Structures are given as structure tokens and as C-alpha cells.
Amino acid sequence: MSRRVVITGVGAVTPLGVGSQPLIERWSAGESGIEDGFGRCLEFDPLDFLSKKEARRCDRFAQMAIVAAAEAIDQAGGVEGLPYEPHRIGCVIGTGIGGLPSLEENQRKMIERGEKAVSPLAVPLMMGNAAAAAVAMRHGLHGHTYGVVSACAAGAHALGDASRIIRAGDADVVVSGGAEAAISGVAIAAFAAMEATSPTGISRPFDARRDGFVMGEGAGILVLEEKDAAEARGAEILGELLGYGATCDGYHLTAPQPEGTEAARAISLAVADAGLTAVDIDYVNAHGTSTPLNDRSETMALKLALGERAGDIPVSSTKSSIGHLLGAAGAVEAIATIEALRRREAPPTVGWEEPEEGLDLDYVPGRSKPIENGEGPLVAVSNSFGFGGHNAVLCLAA
């Protein structure tokens, strides 16, 4: 009897607000959380949720992960409501870079005042596994726990790996997702230097005028749980993580392979892993970064993997509403995807107006539209592609 993986809790901190509901409600309404060229979580104050001591022992990305995880675990019934031994509950959380602001601050202290000014907290603040460690410590989780680092694919890789851990029988629950808070000096300058970010500060994926991504921050955490056990305890099941596909371009440090062949293979693998075929897919939550290269190669990848089906279904990008949350993107977008399927409505690619030759899918311009496919569960793929050519695709149902 093969083990399946369902989602029993979701939590998010995004530029649209604190909570998973502001994310889906405001994105579905076509709103944007981007201000002055950045998708900052302006409503997020860690001291609303954490003690002073807890807050100062976490970089912002880990603070956001703690808050998103608390929402997700609460929705799943709380750790005390999960009838599993703590060593059967894991925590796998992705990030692109980890605690970059903490690294920058301690580097500055060292230059200005010498080595002795460097904080003993510097390493635990900046390490990429800090979010997973903080969430596990807060909730007393003793199963597989680690960070996943694969640039902008990290959130999706984390969820994919977490689902594998459950399917392999090594855990019954994995608290998993992604977190990123790297809107700080070096990262802003570095992305600008490689001309990856939008000089106009506008995120408009798949639009002919797109000129780069908009940096965002936030966290998305899901409670993944073994299906039979979740049903047996009477948990509310929000959706199912049906399949996972991961490949690497092996092509270029930052540019995607232009024809999207390996991205397409990741999509096909995820669909096949779900035991489905292209015609079963009802919606695509695109990686859709708003960079000239990604949106073109991703469109080609979707056509390659899904064939004619790609032109028949809505394809929209959460990044049009919140910017690019880097290592948190795949997880926040998995939540947005599940909630979109539950509402049976594809939120729009906000700001999409001008088509470009070859970019001819239904990018859901203007406003949300129904996802059509009878009365049963709907199925989506959520794409995440990271620098290094890392491709991670999730196949989700709700």
C-alpha cells in the first residue's frame, strides 16, 4: 500500500499580509503588495508573535518561518493534536541565502570594530538551516529536520523532499516550506548588477514590457501529512501533494536553458509521479518571474510538457502580486495554488497587458477566472526554477 501525502495546514507571511488568507484573497482580487519596487512584508512585526529573546535569536527569514509555521500547525490541530511521536514529525524548510542581513551586520561590525565585535549569534542567525531549526525547537519536533538550498527553487524542493520522506515511511508529518528575507544591501546590489531585477520596479510576468523581477520577502509553510493517518484522525484535508519532479539544466549559472527542455522534463516527471497525464492538469501556477528569459523559456517548457493542454488552461504568476520571494517562492506559491484550486478560481497575472510573440498561453489577464473541470478535485502544477538551473515542480490537487 503506497503512502500518499496530504496538506492539513498552511501558513504564510507575504507582502499581502500576515496569513495565508490575505495572500489568496488579495491576489485573487488582483491586488499587489509591491511598493517602491520591493515586495516587503510591511505588516510583519516579529514582536507581535515572538518574545524579544526569541526574535533577536532569529534572522528575519527565520522569524517569518516561525510565524507561518505557527499558523500552519495551528490549522492542522496543533502539535498536541497530531497523534504521532515527535520523532515521526520532521521539518524541512528551504531558503535561497539564509540570514544575509545578519551576515552583513556582523561583517560591518568586524570592519569597524574588529573581530571581537562579532556576535556569538552570528552563525546561528545566518545559517541556512536556521528556520528549520527554529521551528523544530519551538514545537519540539524530532524527525528529519534540515534546510534546503537551491536558490529560487528551494521552497518547492523542500516540499518535494518532505513528501518523499513521508512516502518513504520515515515520517508521518513534515512541516515544510520556504523562507527568505534578503532585501538588503549586497543582495539588492548583486541582483541589480546582473540585471536580474526590474529597473522600473514593476513585476509583470509574461508581458512584453517585462524587464526583470521584483525582490520580495516572506515565508510559506505547509503541514504535510500521511493521507491515511490524517483521515483516521479526522483532519481537515486542504489538498494533496500528488507528485514531484526535479531536474537540472546543467547549462548556465544563471540563464535558463532557452528551450526549457529540462524544466519541461521536471513538469512531466511531476505529472507522471502523480500518476496523471497532461490532460489531467487544470491550472498552472507559473514560476513567472517577469524576467525576459524565464517567462519565454517557461512558456516553451509548458508547451513541451503539456502539449496542446498548455493552451487550454489558465497559467498565472503569483509573483505579479507579491514579487519574487526567492527561496520562499515555491512554498508560498504552493499555498496559493492549493487555495486557488479550493476556490476553483485562477487568480490573475496582475498587470499583464501586452502580449509578446510566442508567449501565447492564457496568462489570466485582468481578473480571476474559473478553473473549469466538472465537480471533482482540480489538479495543478506549480513551477519553481532557480539559479544554477535547478528545476522543481509540484503537482497538487484540491
Interface positions with other proteins (CB under 8 A): 51-54, 56-57, 116-117, 119-121, 124
Residue with cell 540585471: 195
CB-nearer residue toward other proteins: 54 or 280: 54
Active-site annotation holds for 58: no
CB-nearer residue toward other proteins: 118 or 304: 118
The minimum distance between CB 55 and other proteins, in angstroms, equals 8
The minimum distance between CB 60 and other proteins, in angstroms, equals 17
> 297, 260 in Cβ contact below 8 A?
yes
For residue 38, what is its C-alpha cell? 520591493
Alpha helical stretches, state H, 168-318: 185-193, 227-232, 261-273, 292-306, 309-312
Active-site annotation holds for 324: yes
For residue 272, what is its C-alpha cell? 507522471
CB-nearer residue toward other proteins: 120 or 374: 120
CA dist 317 → 68, 203, 314, 363, 372 (Å): 21, 10, 10, 8, 18
The minimum distance between CB 111 and other proteins, in angstroms, equals 17
Options 58, 91, 152, 395, the catalytic residue: 152
CB-nearer residue toward other proteins: 25 or 54: 54
CB-nearer residue toward other proteins: 56 or 342: 56
Determine the Cα–Cα distance for residues 104 and 354; give it in Å rounded to an integer: 40
Residue with cell 556576535: 119
The minimum distance between CB 109 and other proteins, in angstroms, equals 10
**Residues pairing with 91 in the sheet:** 145, 175
> Residue 267's closest CA among 293, 300, 244, 290?
244
CB-nearer residue toward other proteins: 121 or 293: 121
261 C-beta neighbours (distance < 10 Å), count: 16
Distance of CA 181 to the CA centre of its chain: 13
CA dist 125 → 181, 330, 357 (Å): 12, 23, 46
The minimum distance between CB 50 and other proteins, in angstroms, equals 10
Residue 9, classified by CB atoms within 10 Å of its CB into exposed (0-12), middle (13-18) or buried (19+), is buried
Category of 358 on φ-ψ map: left (φ > 0), alpha (ψ -120 to 50) or beta? left
Q: How many residues does the chain have?
A: 398
The minimum distance between CB 48 and other proteins, in angstroms, equals 16
**Residues pairing with 315 in the sheet:** 284
Options 144, 287, 390, 395, the catalytic residue: 287
**End-to-end Cα distance, the chain:** 22
Active-site annotation holds for 395: no
SS3 state of residue 394: strand
> 103, 166 in Cβ contact below 8 A?
no
CB-nearer residue toward other proteins: 120 or 234: 120
Active site residues: 152, 287, 324
